[in-house]
Structure 1
């Protein structure tokens, strides 16, 4: 299987997060120009686009702006909240007026969320200010506007916490931070209102549907209904690659979102390596890792067994003749590089796809854990038959 290095996909000097895509930070985001390119080349206006690992909604925004109908799923409730805000038009003047009321509101009846070590992550006065602000936001009746302010609140929580924001995993910063909670929230909220106001000025024709969902349990979409699958699944289990759960933890606690998803991420439940998966490359790597560390081999197998099951569920939704674009990174485990791009090709072939090309791009503008992958692999496939 040939890989083609494509420097035009590096997008050097173009940040992955700008405009609508800069509403709330999120780890390992798709580059919007990558999504934009393949939406244009492999789909048409009015087509249905699916992203079953949609994260914070980069593909959702690009589909909406280009007139493609869109369905996105993610297991992380914070990601789903961010994605919805990035793709929901709001009445700007009403949002600004409501922001003023939230900031002026004298909140006397409020609750502090009860979670372990809250005092470790937040100063006492910060906890009080956040609790009051949260109560004011939760009193907003319009769901669109409440979500808008929840996302600004989530970013505020991150910035006023004692967490090291340079890390993906939740670790305490060495240096103390002091921020005015209300002022910071106001700045973030105003900035987000300006960014999302773009949507109200455009003649949007497409629909966007985003849900919290575990793809391992199936997708509530009609089989063979999708015109383009474009996605970037996790590059490995959350514990050893991008810690989405830890990145989201403090926000999820403060917003009262469901945190049970951490037990259902790809590879979260360890499995034995007894049943071989349909990928020679994977099975060879597993044998080598097993010789060095049997436990890590089981963890790696568990991740790919779940990825295989996810691809089985996803593949059913794509129409014959239509394309899939899957962006992955190839990590190393115990000195063995796992060719996830080739493994994905094998898995998709098993469900009726042919491999068109794999394009290699340098990761120069994507927030990733330090010391990890330097390249991404853009795997392009086409559905040629029905095989389930």
Structure 2
């Protein structure tokens, strides 16, 4: 019997003010491109899988789906090839004992500020130089005072946790929280123009600004984590920094609901815009760039065929880890590649069918904010893209996403 999806089609999928909604729980701990609205994940879970026990998001990004799953009392598995995104998702969904949060809140800022008094002492400068990453054209991207302060923050985090006798897992979770607060401020105190503009500008960052920003954001993060601890039940959330083409660490048919938004073809270059965060946190940006699906500005090979092959591998894995009859919901937007329109939704549906993921329906929604597979400028400048019915429709109706509702084939229902 065919399920009626009319309720989903009638919804306003923009759900009002994204920034206001993102302040709930731990959603706004760190900037990240292409986040979908938290209510998309929540609504799909509540409408299609209210009794689900294990929810998976195999392109979990900064963890939106997993935060909502935890808030709903669901177990969850998140996977992302981006190590920075995985760190965000891990911190957002990991409970930390309140006594540890209090210890960090009260003592780490004091430890840092005490060390800051000696920032120009030769021994401190020597330690900072050791811990500071190698940055090409360093002076172009960072002022000298900012380099010292970022180095001191990182050094202080390392030294502070060396003094703690907490269980190893608790130390790592708490340290990750501090590193995420550190990551949050890096772009704003660098000379990178904005989060999504990789251009050097002179910001004239004054002495002490990086230190103050870190302390302020650290305490905001701690408050958010403490509040979220108190609003969720005892559920298991796993975050894996891994490639979703190969989910061999997840057993067959473990999950009973999947909701995700795969990388939009030729959309964001996460490795470029977050480059300095990768460097300061010792994350492998080159390794990630080699694994990223649909990477913007990829210069070699047939990007569309590569995207199809990558998504085919992913969809086979999605099918394997889902129970028969379970839903697989994919939020997607079509793309522009080499000035030509590419219907990636059609590609996903075709490859899903080969993996026994059968199309149930498609829900169209207007794109909210930056979560788009197409560049706005390309839709408004007729000279920029080749004209065809699809691109003309995009120009007249605006950018749209699709929620592709798939269901894993269940032979027992025949």
Alignment partner of 1:353 out of 344, 350, 357: 357
* Structure 1 residues 192-213: Cα deviation after superposition (integer angstroms, max 9, x where no partner): 1111111221342210000100
In 2, the alpha carbon distance for the partners of 1:45 and 1:177 equals 54
In 2, the alpha carbon distance for the partners of 1:342 and 1:98 equals 54
1:376 paired residue number: 401
Structure 1 residues 9 and 177 mapped into 2: Cα distance closer, same or farther (>3 Å)?
A: farther
Aligned pairs, number = 357
* Structure 1: gaps spanning 5 or more residues: 272-294
1:93 paired residue number: 102
Structure 1 residues 198 and 118 mapped into 2: Cα distance closer, same or farther (>3 Å)?
A: same
Instruction: Report SS of the residue matched to 2:274.
Output: helix
Structure 1 residues 93 and 270 mapped into 2: Cα distance closer, same or farther (>3 Å)?
A: closer
Alignment partner of 1:135 out of 138, 147, 155: 155
Alignment partner of 1:265 out of 292, 296, 301: 292
CA contact (8 A) 2:55 2:256 kept: yes
2:389 paired residue number: none
CA contact (8 A) 1:6 1:361 kept: no
Q: Following TM superposition, by how much is the alpha carbon of 1:351 offset from its aligned partner in structure 2, in angstroms?
A: 1.1
Q: Following TM superposition, by how much is the alpha carbon of 1:383 offset from its aligned partner in structure 2, in angstroms?
A: 0.8
Structure 1 residues 38 and 9 mapped into 2: Cα distance closer, same or farther (>3 Å)?
A: same
* Structure 1 residues 307-329: Cα deviation after superposition (integer angstroms, max 9, x where no partner): 11111222211111110000011
* Structure 1 residues 345-372: Cα deviation after superposition (integer angstroms, max 9, x where no partner): 1111111122111111112334556537
* Structure 1 residues 159-182: Cα deviation after superposition (integer angstroms, max 9, x where no partner): 101112152x52223x52425110
Structure 1 residues 11 and 190 mapped into 2: Cα distance closer, same or farther (>3 Å)?
A: same
In 2, the alpha carbon distance for the partners of 1:351 and 1:311 equals 6
* Structure 2: gaps spanning 5 or more residues: 163-170, 379-397
Report the structure number with the largest CA radius of gyration.
2
CA contact (8 A) 2:71 2:232 kept: no
Alignment partner of 1:122 out of 142, 162, 169: 142
Structure 1 residue 183 corresponds to structure 2 residue 188: no
Matches within 5 A, 1:272-291: none
Matches within 5 A, 1:108-119: 108=124, 109-110=127-128, 111=130, 112-119=132-139
Q: Following TM superposition, by how much is the alpha carbon of 1:298 offset from its aligned partner in structure 2, in angstroms?
A: 1.3
TM-score by length of 1: 0.85
Instruction: Report SS of the residue matched to 2:194.
Output: coil
Q: Following TM superposition, by how much is the alpha carbon of 1:45 offset from its aligned partner in structure 2, in angstroms?
A: 5.1
* Structure 1 residues 95-146: Cα deviation after superposition (integer angstroms, max 9, x where no partner): 3123333433426233221232222210011101110111011222511221
CA contact (8 A) 2:334 2:345 kept: yes
Structure 1 residues 371 and 270 mapped into 2: Cα distance closer, same or farther (>3 Å)?
A: closer
RMSD after superposition: 2.6
In 2, the alpha carbon distance for the partners of 1:44 and 1:98 equals 42
